[in-house]
Structure 1
Amino acid sequence: MPNPEGEFSQIPLPHSTIRPIGVYALSGLAADGNHLLAVDAIRGYLVRIDPHTNNTTILNPHHVGEWIGVSGLSVWEDTFWFAKGQEAIWCDRQTLTPTVFTRLPYPVTGVAVSDLLVYVSCQKSGYIHIFDRTTGESTGRIPQPGVGCETLVLHNDALWVADRAEQTVYCLDRTTGDLKFSALTPFSSPTGIAFYYPTDGAEPICYVVYADEEPYIRDDPNAKSPYQLTFRDRTFIHPLYFHHEPEAHYTLSNGFAIELSYVEELLPLEAVALNQVEWRIALPSNTLRQRVRHVEAIGCECTIEEQDGQKVAVFKFDKLAPNQGGLLGWKAVIEMYGLKYSLSPDDIDDRLTLPAELAQLYLVDDDDLAMDTDTMIQAAKEAVGTETNVLRKMLKIRNYVYDRLSYGIQPKIDTPDIALARGVGSCGEYVGVLLALARLNGIACRTIGRYKCPPYPDRRQVPLQPDFNHVWLEFYIPGIGWLPMESNMDDTIERGPYPQRFFMGLAWYHTEIGKGISFEKMKAIDKPEHLSMGDLAINHICFRILDELMPS
Structure 2
Amino acid sequence: MPNPDSAQTQTAKLPHRLIRPIGAYTLSGLAIHQELLLTLDRTRGYLLQVNPKTDGTTLLNTQQAAAFEEATGLALWEGKLYIARHHQVLTATLEDLTPTPLLSLPYLIDSIAVWQQTLYISSQKAGYIFIYDRDSHDLITKLPLPGIGVASIAVWGDYLWAVDQTEQTLFCLDRATGEQIFSVLTPFAGPTGVAVLPETTPDRGTVWVTYADDEAYVRDDPNNPDFPYQLTFRDRTFIHPLHYHYRPDERYAVSNRFRVEMIYAEEIEPLDEVQLGPFEWRIAFPADTLRQRVKSVEPIGHPFTEVEVNGQRVAVFKFDSLSGHDRHLFGWRAVLEVQGIKYQVTPRLVEGGPALPDDLQTRYLVDDDELAMDNPLILAAAETAVGRETNLLRKVLSIRNYVYDRLSYGIRPAIDTPDIVIERGIGSCGEYVGLLLALCRLNGIACRTVGRYKCPPHAEQINQPLVPEFNHVWIEFYVPDVGWLPMESNVDDIQDGGPYPTRFFMGLPWYHMEMAKEVPFERVHFAPADVEKEIKIGNLALNHVRFRILEEMPPV
**Structure 1 length as normaliser, TM-score?**
0.95
Write the distance in 2 (CA, Å) between the matches of 1:128 and 1:103: 14
Write the distance in 1 (CA, Å) between the matches of 2:293 and 2:219: 39
8 A Cα contact 1:299 1:328, kept in partner: yes
| Aligned-partner SS, 2:539 | helix
8 A Cα contact 2:351 2:392, kept in partner: no
Match of 1:232 in 2: 234
8 A Cα contact 1:82 1:89, kept in partner: yes
Letter aligned with residue 550 of structure 1: P
Match of 2:548 in 1: 544
Letter aligned with residue 371 of structure 1: M
Match of 1:255 in 2: 257
Write the distance in 1 (CA, Å) between the matches of 2:37 and 2:357: 52
Match of 1:70 in 2: 71
Letter aligned with residue 262 of structure 1: Y
- Report the alpha carbon displacement of residue 280 of structure 1 after superposing the two structures with TM: 1.0
Match of 1:106 in 2: 107
Task: Say what the alpha-carbon RMSD is for the aligned residues.
Answer: 1.5
- Report the alpha carbon displacement of residue 195 of structure 1 after superposing the two structures with TM: 2.3
Unaligned runs of at least 5 residues, structure 2: 1-13
Write the distance in 2 (CA, Å) between the matches of 1:542 and 1:320: 26
Structure 1 segments, 4+ long, off by >4 Å, are none
8 A Cα contact 1:447 1:516, kept in partner: no
Write the distance in 2 (CA, Å) between the matches of 1:183 and 1:190: 13
Unaligned runs of at least 5 residues, structure 1: 1-12
Write the distance in 1 (CA, Å) between the matches of 2:189 and 2:346: 25
Task: Give 2:325's match in structure 1, choosing from 318, 323, 328.
Answer: 323
| Aligned-partner SS, 1:378 | helix
| Aligned-partner SS, 2:415 | coil
Match of 2:33 in 1: 32
| Aligned-partner SS, 1:328 | strand
State percent identity of aligned pairs. Answer: 52
| Aligned-partner SS, 1:263 | strand
8 A Cα contact 1:36 1:196, kept in partner: no
Deviation readout 1:320-368 (Å, 9 max, x if unpaired): 2332111121110010101111221111142311111111111111001
Task: Give 1:468's match in structure 2, choosing from 467, 470, 476.
Answer: 470
Letter aligned with residue 151 of structure 1: S
- Report the alpha carbon displacement of residue 105 of structure 1 after superposing the two structures with TM: 2.7
8 A Cα contact 2:525 2:532, kept in partner: no
Match of 2:47 in 1: 46
Equivalent residues, number: 536
- Report the alpha carbon displacement of residue 205 of structure 1 after superposing the two structures with TM: 4.2
Task: Give 1:411's match in structure 2, choosing from 402, 410, 413.
Answer: 413
Letter aligned with residue 166 of structure 2: A
Structure with greater contact order relative to length (CA < 8 Å, sep ≥ 6):
1
Match of 1:6 in 2: none
8 A Cα contact 1:350 1:390, kept in partner: no
Write the distance in 2 (CA, Å) between the matches of 1:91 and 1:160: 23
Pair 373,299 (structure 1): closer, same or farther in 2 beyond 3 Å: same
Match of 2:3 in 1: none
Deviation readout 1:404-443 (Å, 9 max, x if unpaired): 1111111211111111111111111111111111111111
Write the distance in 1 (CA, Å) between the matches of 2:546 and 2:135: 58
Deviation readout 1:171-224 (Å, 9 max, x if unpaired): 0000111111111111110101112459xxxx9741111111111000011023
Task: Give 1:453's match in structure 2, choosing from 452, 455, 459.
Answer: 455
- Report the alpha carbon displacement of residue 32 of structure 1 after superposing the two structures with TM: 0.7
8 A Cα contact 2:186 2:242, kept in partner: yes
Match of 1:269 in 2: 271
Match of 2:172 in 1: 171
Match of 1:125 in 2: 126
Write the distance in 2 (CA, Å) between the matches of 1:433 and 1:107: 39
- Trace 1:342-353 onto structure 2 (pairs within 5 A): 342-353=344-355
8 A Cα contact 1:184 1:253, kept in partner: yes
| Structure 2 residue 446 is matched with structure 1 residue 444 | yes
| Aligned-partner SS, 1:381 | helix
Deviation readout 1:83-121 (Å, 9 max, x if unpaired): 111222223333334333333332111111111221111
Match of 2:8 in 1: none
Match of 1:533 in 2: 537
Match of 2:303 in 1: 301
Task: Give 2:501's match in structure 1, choosing from 499, 508, 532.
Answer: 499
